[in-house]
Structure 1
Amino acid sequence: MSKKKSTVWLHFSEEKEKKVKCLFCGQVLSVSNGSTCGLIRHLNKRHPTQIITRQGLQECEISVSNVSDENNYSASQPGARESVHDARPSNTSSRAGTISQYFERPLPMTKQRNIDNQLVKMVVKEYQPLCIVEDPEFKRFINMLNPNYKLPTRKTLSTSLIPAAYKETLEAVKNRLSKAFAICLTVDGWTSRAHDSFFSVTAHYISESSERTFLASDLITCVSYADRHTGENIKNKLREICDECGIANKIAVIVTDNAANMKAAVRDGGWRHWGCFAHTLNLIAQAGLTEIQAVLDKVKSIVRFFKKSSYAYAKLKNTSESMQIPMLKLINDVVTRWNSTYEMLERFLKLKDAVIATLALVKSSMQVRDEFVKGIAPLNNEEWLIVAEVVKVMEIFKCITTLVSQEKHVSASSIMLYVKQLKKHLQSFAIKELACSVQKMVQKLVHELNDRFKDIETNELITQATILDPRLKKFGFINELSYKSAVDKLYSKVANITIANQEIEIVEANESQ
């Protein structure tokens, strides 16, 4: 094609045989004669919100024509040169603006497109509001960086640029998924505060290209789900999503929480299931913490008191400063937020002296209403001891939950080692030296750990992942017989793999050399 000067080309990408594709809807159009009329008609009809002319350039041409007309008029009138010369100081700013506009060159197509794409990434990845393009200060900021760049309108951003970026990203993800050999899915369903139900599926796989090999995680769907969350409905929804993405025959395992409907959906669908390890750890921890529920309730009531009373919080802050204790905010636990109970107790223990002093001061003050103070009882020495011991016991649960929650690292091969370390940690405590309630908690944790992970060394998926991890191999196993059995199964599985004839010929050629 000839050199493109029209700004219409900003919205199309070149295809083969004198054809272009619309960047917004993907429609392919013919430009065999090099005319842009058909492209303009397409934009006006399908994408009326998209600006296709450069207003700055038009204003520049008008301003330049006015300057030349003024010069012609001055040359044709005998006394006009002096009058124009006298009036020149009053027109200096307008002339300067006109000249600057004349020298401002429109952005190249690729530059305009790259900035638009980066704007979309900023809005999508950083959760910026769409109205940011209408903010006067943001407009001024962009103009100072590049006066030639024209910010798209909010409607253009929402109806054209973001859908185009979505389609491009979707095609890239589908292309990577089509090349993946095996895929692991993580599935979750939840209800928002506004009582809207959602369903999401994320694919985890190894992506290989000519440039690099990396672990990829792509959210393939997150949709509003109004149907009942029964096992049958979830199974049908999963099948629909897998068929749309073309990965129905590549699912190695599906990871969900321990809800009965999720387990039933995966089991009835014929997929291999693995319960979320972090969620299981949270269930074990919550079961153990029930043994110290009385102390937890007292701590929660004190935390809520300081969060509700601004006067009490101000006193706590002043007391912390006077005692030279770093002022940290108290944390209230949430059952569904993993590690939140441990974080609440840990923070509460760090502010122990400040909390004790502030509670005594506030309870003797008349500036706090009775309903705020009612029911607030400070912890005694034995209860503070229980809090300190629980923090020591539960610390490893937080560390392991944080490790397995990483997105860019493979965690399945480390699960057996984590279970092994958890058991060793709990058995390291001298039970008789702990408070009575903490003793019961440790015993409950050990029981829950053994019950929920009793079959872990016979799980084919986890044992093979542990053996194949060069960092671990047999060190993740507790039972030597379980390790030997897992190795035999792995040998048997590898022996049944059939290699293509072409690959066999390559191997034989290498051996002969």
Structure 2
Amino acid sequence: MTEITDMETIPGESNNQLALTTPEAQPIKRRKKKSMVWEYFTIENVSAGCRRAYCKRCKQSFAYSTGSKVAGTSHLKRHIAKGTCRALLRGQGQDNNQFITPYNPKMGGSEPPKRRYRSPSSPFIPFDQDRCRHEIARMIIMHEYPLHIVEHPGFIAFVQNLQPQFDKMSFNTVQGDCVATYLREKQSLMNFIEGIPGRFCLTLDMWSSNQTLGYVFITGHFVDSDWKLHRRVFNVVMEPYPDSHSALSHAIAACLSDWSLEGKLFSLTFNHPLSEAGLENLRPLLCVKNPLILNGQLLIRNCIARTMSSMAKDVLGAG
């Protein structure tokens, strides 16, 4: 009976050995790592079934795989792209592939990655000093910030934490960038105006400062080839003597010459009281430089708002 029992257990043992050796005979093929993070990380076996990713720059370790569970590479990308690598912040290994906006929120160890919604991946953008200067000038123009904002301590601290590579800007530098932006936009508008087939209507408004200086704001209104109405501020002309009869004539002549509008003017509208002497001083100038339609009959003295205001004052004064 003993021999029979031994003979019955032998096939079972051979089956167990076959079951144990079968997985080793068919190893699992791993995909080739294609992510760019592997240029900055290495994988090392910590223990049986546990592997961790080590940063080549700061030697900090991150979870990668435990058994069959793989952590992925999102937290590794954040370590490099967002500047949490302390070695990267110290300027080690800087090259043309330097990433933008390095930032170190905490000097302690790494925190477990938070759950985030998956978003489409975007390529890393290299730092561009000229592009940043252009955007700062554009920001100042759009929001009418003072030019000295680039020298404020709070702004400097913010920019240095956002991008340590950015060189501080002075008042003169940002002033030159704003002027260059203005000239660029002006040239773009002039190229657009050259293709307008119709004529232009100008509206003028006079502002006075506390120094008794006058500023003539000239706005152009025109329709493009698609019958779309456009409104653009053409000029702001300083007039040292805003009450003189030739103040508006000088501003209009400068606008027509600056934007090459000779022969393209259709009408003028003033939001400033214009005397008869000033009107007669303006009409010959326009007749020489621009053939007005209907012999200048469309040279409007005041806009409708000014006319209604004058009528209301007359009615109140008569009552």
Q: TM-score, normalised by structure 1?
A: 0.34
**Residue equivalent to 1:288:** 315
1:138 equivalent in alignment to 2:155: yes
Structure-2 separation of matches of 1:101 and 1:207: 53
SS of the equivalent of 2:189 reads: helix
Structure-2 separation of matches of 1:109 and 1:177: 36
Alignment of 1:300-379 (within 5 A): none
Which has the larger strand fraction?
2
**Residue equivalent to 1:247:** 261
Deviation at residue 241 of structure 1 after TM alignment: 2.4
SS of the equivalent of 1:218 reads: strand
**Residue equivalent to 2:299:** 273
Structure-1 separation of matches of 2:91 and 2:227: 49
Deviation at residue 98 of structure 1 after TM alignment: 6.4
1:262–1:122 Cα change, 3 Å? farther
1:110–1:251 Cα change, 3 Å? farther
Post-superposition CA distance 1:212-239 (Å, at most 9, x none): 7643222221122124644445334422
State the identity as a percent: 17
1:176–1:109 Cα change, 3 Å? farther
Deviation at residue 117 of structure 1 after TM alignment: 2.2
SS of the equivalent of 2:311 reads: helix
**Residue equivalent to 1:263:** 279
**Residue equivalent to 2:177:** 161
Structure-1 separation of matches of 2:229 and 2:126: 34
SS of the equivalent of 2:240 reads: coil
Unpaired runs of 5+ residues, structure 2, are 1-56, 58-84, 101-124, 288-295
Asked if the contact 2:203/2:219 (under 8 Å) is kept, the reply is: yes
SS of the equivalent of 1:204 reads: strand
1:195 equivalent in alignment to 2:212: yes
> Which of 218, 221, 226 is the matching residue for 1:204?
221
1:98–1:198 Cα change, 3 Å? same
**Residue equivalent to 2:52:** none
Asked if the contact 2:220/2:233 (under 8 Å) is kept, the reply is: yes
Paired letter, 2:160: N
Deviation at residue 192 of structure 1 after TM alignment: 1.0
**Residue equivalent to 1:101:** 91
1:133–1:287 Cα change, 3 Å? same
**Residue equivalent to 2:238:** 224
The structure that has the greater radius of gyration is: 2
Post-superposition CA distance 1:138-175 (Å, at most 9, x none): 122233444443342222111x2112112101101211
CA RMSD of aligned residues (A): 3.1
1:157–1:106 Cα change, 3 Å? farther
Asked if the contact 1:120/1:165 (under 8 Å) is kept, the reply is: yes
Post-superposition CA distance 1:430-450 (Å, at most 9, x none): xxxxxxxxxx4xxxxxxxxxx
1:125–1:213 Cα change, 3 Å? farther
SS of the equivalent of 2:91 reads: helix
Unpaired runs of 5+ residues, structure 1, are 1-66, 68-94, 292-439, 441-513
Structure-1 separation of matches of 2:86 and 2:126: 27
Post-superposition CA distance 1:324-376 (Å, at most 9, x none): xxxxxxxxxxxxxxxxxxxxxxxxxxxxxxxxxxxxxxxxxxxxxxxxxxxxx
Give the count of matched residue pairs: 195
1:191–1:233 Cα change, 3 Å? closer
1:262–1:151 Cα change, 3 Å? farther
1:141–1:185 Cα change, 3 Å? same
SS of the equivalent of 1:222 reads: strand
Asked if the contact 1:256/1:262 (under 8 Å) is kept, the reply is: no
Post-superposition CA distance 1:167-195 (Å, at most 9, x none): 10110121122222211111233321121
Alignment of 1:44-63 (within 5 A): none
**Residue equivalent to 1:152:** 169
Structure-2 separation of matches of 1:151 and 1:256: 45
**Residue equivalent to 2:130:** 113
Structure-1 separation of matches of 2:159 and 2:316: 53
Which has the larger helix fraction?
1
Structure-2 separation of matches of 1:249 and 1:152: 44
Structure-2 separation of matches of 1:121 and 1:282: 38
1:267–1:110 Cα change, 3 Å? farther
Structure-1 separation of matches of 2:87 and 2:181: 36
Paired letter, 2:152: D
